[in-house]
Amino acid sequence: MENQKTISLLVKDHPGVMQRITSLFTRRGYNMESITVGPSEETGLSRITIITICDESQVDQIIFQLQKLMEVFEATLLRPKKTVTSELAFIKMNVEPNRYGEILNLVEKNHATVLDIGSKTMIIQAVGDTERIDEIVAQLTPYGLCQLSRTGVMAMEK
Amino acid sequence: MRMESKMNLFNEEYREKLLQSDYINGSEILLRSLLLEGVDCVFGYPGGAVLYIYDAMHGNKDFNHVLTRHEQGAIHAADGYARATGKPGVCLATSGPGATNLVTGIATAYMDSVPMIIITGNVATSAIGSDAFQEADTIGITMPITKHSYQVRDVEDLPRIIREAFYIASTGRKGPVLIDIPKDVSSNKTNFKYPEEIEIRGYQPNPQLDMRQVENLLKAIEEAKRPVIIAGAGVVHSGAHEELLEFVNKTQIPVTTTLLGLDGFPSGHPLSMGMPGMHGTYTANTAIQNSDLLISIGARFDDRVTMKLDGFAPNAKIAHLDIDRSEIGKNIKTEFPCLGDIKAVLALANGTVKPAQSDEWINQIMKNKQKFPLKYQDDDQVLKPQYVIEMINETTGGEAIITTDVGQHQMWAAQFYKFNHPRSIITSGGLGTMGFGLPSAIGAQIGNPNRLVISINGDGGMQMCAQELAICAIHNIPVKVVIINNQVLGMVRQWQEIVYEERYSHIDLSGSVDFVQLAKAYGVKGLQAKTKEEARCVWKEALETQGPVLIDFVVPKEEVVLPMVLQGTTLSEMKMEG
């Protein structure tokens, strides 16, 4: 999306940090499409990726406000052309065994992976950028998609 | 009470004693740390979760604590102390309701960037999250209205957290910092060690000055023909009033001062135009609208200043000096950003700045000042509120510290009191908190025992924290408590008259209380005036009285604050007549 911006944060891994960040977005009426968090290369620090939809002037304001949070050590806007992004999706299918073959074909064609096969359900893992995941989900939906869980986007500048 | 500091921080022996590595509990650590930070007064109210802290105070002669009658009184008093002295104000309350009663005061301080340390008790760490008696998520509740907050989970962390909190509250863009101390942390013991130095990763309170930004600003000034300065609270927070005066004298740029910046520039200066905005002067608002270069110095383009943004200063390029990067460009597109501590930026600029080409512009402004001064319809038979403020101004020569509540009287105080010194107006500008006037005056007086402190209130706000009159009486805090009593919620009435076609809804306060008797009940001298003659007479008596006095000035309810710019219109559309 044109106005989609990716913000990368390096934060102190401390109770309440996520709340400070999400509270800032709520209070100031900023949009948050997704947020992912996990440990960074440094012990005690986490890296957070936020996807937001806003215009150029507002994204600067968001970054400046984030930088004011004491537990945010770095807040940077990632440049789209120099950034790789990816997300992970788990897709649970409710399918009759006689259609497994078709689904496995789709999985293979899309470079996805099957994590679990049960008597009536199947869990598929897909990795890729947002458009890729959207595409896989669209292809699988007609076969009886019953649960979808996506991590949200992770991003890193080259 | 003469709040003379009972300890002397310059007394090395005393400091050494405080720094001793004794095995003491969290409460004693707290008190010692506060003393080491130079705190000479804490405003507070005890309760279950802070009993260890109050126990540590018992018999501690070095530690000054003022017991207010409501936590809201405590936090506003700490705020008034901070605004009047520039030092962080310190406030202490218990968990749950004690903490939630502070919320309005914390938000008040946050909106106006006031350095404060707020200490709240909480239930023991083992009980947190169990909905224990008087438990509230104080950190969660106050997160959006504090600069930062800490919940202390281990007594070992307490000294560092206190040290950091003071540093954060009083550097960069200042603000309130909250420290939540669970009960077991205040009772657990450890060997006291106060950190000498602290380093907070990622926190850069004083941004490096960018020479190019300053040069661009100076060039823009040289080329400007109709420049205007809007000076705001940042000038006072940064202690930059002298640098601003020099800057104005060198550049010959007319100055308008926002509500919170009124005391940052001498109002008697020929280039002072008074306040801008909704109730600003004709001269200031007209100058902004006609200007070609508008320089904000520590003012944040608040909506009460700009009014309708689309149409604000339509011909001006905007320059903005601010220590907070996020303020620059937040509300208005800025051509000349200038990030840094205002005192430092102005000091640097003063070295090379050249005057603007503004002779013709200044002539025009001088003419406007003469032709359209602030005015009101005076009447020999009626005591007008503006007359009362003028009288207070004349009799104190602009030398008093004025605290206000919120509403019409606040605007009249801003218009008709002529401020000469920084830290002289103490008013809730951003949040507009009623009930602020009296307790903030108590804090201001305790911080400045030798200055005359006058608290100007309306009859509405006065009733929101009136219980603090007790503190004035008990400690003989000689605040002069003025009530501009028009028996209505005047500012609401004014809007209902002008915007809501005279449909006066729930604004009548008549018959609510006899303020003179109320003062007497608290042991404070109470006076009343209904005419100009009585006003002069009782005001003289009030000024001659050593202790606290309440003066009830009964005025008509029909007066409106003018000029007025209606919401949704631009500064060019001033309503000048009632």
The CATH number covering residue B250 comes to: 3.40.50.1220
Identify whether residues B58 and B128 lie together within a single domain: yes
Q: Spot the catalytic one: B133, B143, B215, B225.
A: B133
Instruction: Write out the residue range of the structural domain in which residue B249 sits.
Output: 211-371
- Number of domains composing chain B: 3
Is residue B378 in some structural domain?
no
Is residue B568 in some structural domain?
no
Residue B488 DSSP one-character state? B
β-bridge pairing A45-53 and A34-39: antiparallel
CB–CB contacts below 8 A, A to B: 36
Identify whether residues B133 and B234 lie together within a single domain: no
Q: Which residue of chain A has the CA closest to B325?
A: A64
Identify whether residues B98 and B246 lie together within a single domain: no
- Contact criterion met (CB below 8 Å) for B134 and B97: yes
- A4-77 maps to which CATH number? 3.30.70.260
pLDDT tens per residue, range B206-229: 999 999 999 999 999 999 999 999
Q: Between A19, A68, A70, which is nearest B326 by CB?
A: A68
Distance, CA of B32 to CA of B26 (rounded, Å): 10
The answer to whether A23 contacts B329, with C-beta atoms less than 8 Å apart, is no
Identify whether residues B488 and B527 lie together within a single domain: yes
Distance, CA of A17 to CA of A15 (rounded, Å): 6
Q: Which position has the token pair 């402004």?
A: B365
Domain at A84-157, CATH class = alpha beta
Residue where one domain finishes, among candidates B371, B403, B435: B371
Q: Does the annotation count B491 as an active-site position?
A: yes
Q: Does the annotation count B183 as an active-site position?
A: yes
Q: Which of B406, B429, B433, B442 shows the shortest CA–CA distance to B43?
A: B442
Distance, CA of B87 to CA of B40 (rounded, Å): 10
Q: Which residue of chain B has the CA closest to A60?
A: B326
CA distances from A147 to A121, A141, A153, B545 (A): 10, 10, 19, 78
CA distances from B124 to B129, B131, B148, B225, B404 (A): 10, 12, 22, 64, 39
Is residue B20 in some structural domain?
yes
State the angle between helix axes of A56-68 and A17-27 in degrees (0 to 180), rounded to the nearest 10.
140
Q: For residue B514, is pLDDT > 60?
A: yes
Q: Is A131 exposed, middle or buried (0-12, 13-18, 19+ CB in 10 A)?
A: exposed
- Contact criterion met (CB below 8 Å) for A153 and A85: yes
Hey, how many other C-beta atoms are within 10 angstroms of the C-beta on B13?
7
Q: For residue B5, is pLDDT > 80?
A: no
Q: For residue B270, is pLDDT > 60?
A: yes
pLDDT tens per residue, range B141-189: 999 999 999 999 999 999 999 999 999 999 999 999 999 999 999 999 9
Question: Which residues of chain A from 56 to 115 reach within 8 Å of chain B, CB to CB?
Answer: 57, 60-61, 64-65, 67-68, 70, 72-74
The CATH 3.30.70.260 domain(s) of chain A lie at 4-77
Identify whether residues B45 and B120 lie together within a single domain: yes
CATH code of the domain in which B551 resides? 3.40.50.970
Tell me which chain B residues have a C-beta less than 8 angstroms from the C-beta of A70.
147-148, 168, 200, 202-203
Q: For residue B282, is pLDDT > 50?
A: yes
Evaluated on CA atoms B153, B157, B161, B164, the torsion sign reads: negative
Amino acid of residue B550: L
Asked casually if ipTM beats, i.e. exceeds, 0.90, the reply is: yes
CA distances from A57 to A60, A79, B55 (A): 6, 15, 53
User: Per-residue pLDDT averaged across B487-509, rounded?
Assistant: 97
Task: Say how many CA atoms lie within 13 Å of A87 toward its Cβ.
Answer: 24
Q: By three-state DSSP, how is residue B548 classified?
A: coil
Q: What are phi and psi of B558, to 5 degrees?
A: -80, -15
Which residues of chain A fall short of a pLDDT of 50? none
Q: What are phi and psi of B100, to 5 degrees?
A: -70, -30
CA angle B102, B202, A50 (to 5 degrees): 85
Identify whether residues B240 and B294 lie together within a single domain: yes
Distance, CA of A99 to CA of B431 (rounded, Å): 64
User: Per-residue pLDDT averaged across B34-55, rounded?
Assistant: 97
Amino acid of residue B338: C
Distance, CA of B109 to CA of B91 (rounded, Å): 12
User: Per-residue pLDDT averaged across B247-269, rounded?
Assistant: 97
Q: Which of B290, B233, B217 shows the shortest CA–CA distance to B425?
A: B233
Tell me which chain B residues have a C-beta less than 8 angstroms from the C-beta of A68.
324, 326
Q: By three-state DSSP, how is residue A92 classified?
A: strand
Distance, CA of A145 to CA of B7 (rounded, Å): 73
Q: Which of B183, B426, B430, B487 shows the shortest CA–CA distance to B301?
A: B430
Q: Please enumerate in sequence order all residues whose Cβ is within 8 A of that of A52, keeping only pairs 6 or more positions apart, or say none.
A: A4, A5, A7, A25, A30, A31, A32, A33, A59, A62
Tell me which chain A residues have a C-beta less than 8 angstroms from the C-beta of B330.
61
Is residue B482 in some structural domain?
yes
Tokens of B377: 């319809």
- Annotate B436-487 with three-state secondary structure: CHHHHHHHHHHHCCCCCEEEEEECCHHHHCHHHHHHHHHCCCCCEEEEEECC
Is residue B376 in some structural domain?
no
Residue where one domain finishes, among candidates B316, B340, B371: B371
CA distance A1 to chain B (A): 24
Q: Which residue of chain A has the CA closest to B151?
A: A15
Identify whether residues B431 and B523 lie together within a single domain: yes
Q: Is A16 on the interface with B (CB under 8 A)?
A: yes
Is residue B159 in some structural domain?
yes
Is residue B42 in some structural domain?
yes
The answer to whether A65 contacts B144, with C-beta atoms less than 8 Å apart, is no
Identify whether residues B104 and B230 lie together within a single domain: no
The CATH 3.30.70.1150 domain(s) of chain A lie at 84-157
The answer to whether A70 contacts B202, with C-beta atoms less than 8 Å apart, is yes
Q: Which residue of chain B has the CA closest to A62?
A: B326
Distance, CA of A150 to CA of B259 (rounded, Å): 50
CA distance B143 to chain A (A): 7
pLDDT tens per residue, range B7-22: 455 688 999 999 999 9
Distance, CA of A127 to CA of B299 (rounded, Å): 49
Q: Please enumerate in sequence order all residues whose Cβ is within 8 A of that of B137, keeping only pairs 6 or more positions apart, or say none.
A: none
Identify whether residues B491 and B342 lie together within a single domain: no
pLDDT tens per residue, range B515-527: 999 999 999 999 9
CA distance A28 to chain B (A): 10
Q: Spot the catalytic one: B87, B147, B174, B183.
A: B183
pLDDT tens per residue, range B62-103: 999 999 999 999 999 999 999 999 999 999 999 999 999 999
Distance, CA of A26 to CA of B143 (rounded, Å): 12
Which stretches of B227-341 are DSSP H helices? Answer: 233-237, 241-251, 282-290, 303-306
CA distance A52 to chain B (A): 18
Q: Which of B90, B166, B15 shows the shortest CA–CA distance to B446?
A: B90
Is residue B200 in some structural domain?
no
Identify whether residues B360 and B309 lie together within a single domain: yes
pLDDT at B1: 46
Q: Is A23 on the interface with B (CB under 8 A)?
A: yes
Helix (H), strand (E) at residue A140:
helix A130-140
Identify whether residues B360 and B461 lie together within a single domain: no
- Contact criterion met (CB below 8 Å) for B316 and B322: no
pLDDT at A31: 95
Q: For residue B4, is pLDDT > 50?
A: no
User: Per-residue pLDDT averaged across B281-297, rounded?
Assistant: 98
CA distance B93 to chain A (A): 22
pLDDT at B512: 86
pLDDT at B10: 61
What is the average pLDDT score of chain B?
96
Amino acid of residue B80: G
pLDDT at A96: 85
Distance, CA of A84 to CA of A125 (rounded, Å): 19
Amino acid of residue B110: Y
pLDDT at A98: 87
Distance, CA of B495 to CA of B476 (rounded, Å): 39
- Contact criterion met (CB below 8 Å) for A128 and A72: no
Identify whether residues B89 and B227 lie together within a single domain: no
CA distances from B391 to B141, B400, B536 (A): 43, 13, 8
What are the residues of chain B with a beta carbon less than 8 Å away from any beta carbon of chain A? 139-140, 143-144, 147-148, 151, 168, 200-203, 324-326, 329-330, 333
- Contact criterion met (CB below 8 Å) for B345 and B206: no
Q: Does the annotation count B17 as an active-site position?
A: no
CA angle B408, B414, B419 (to 5 degrees): 155
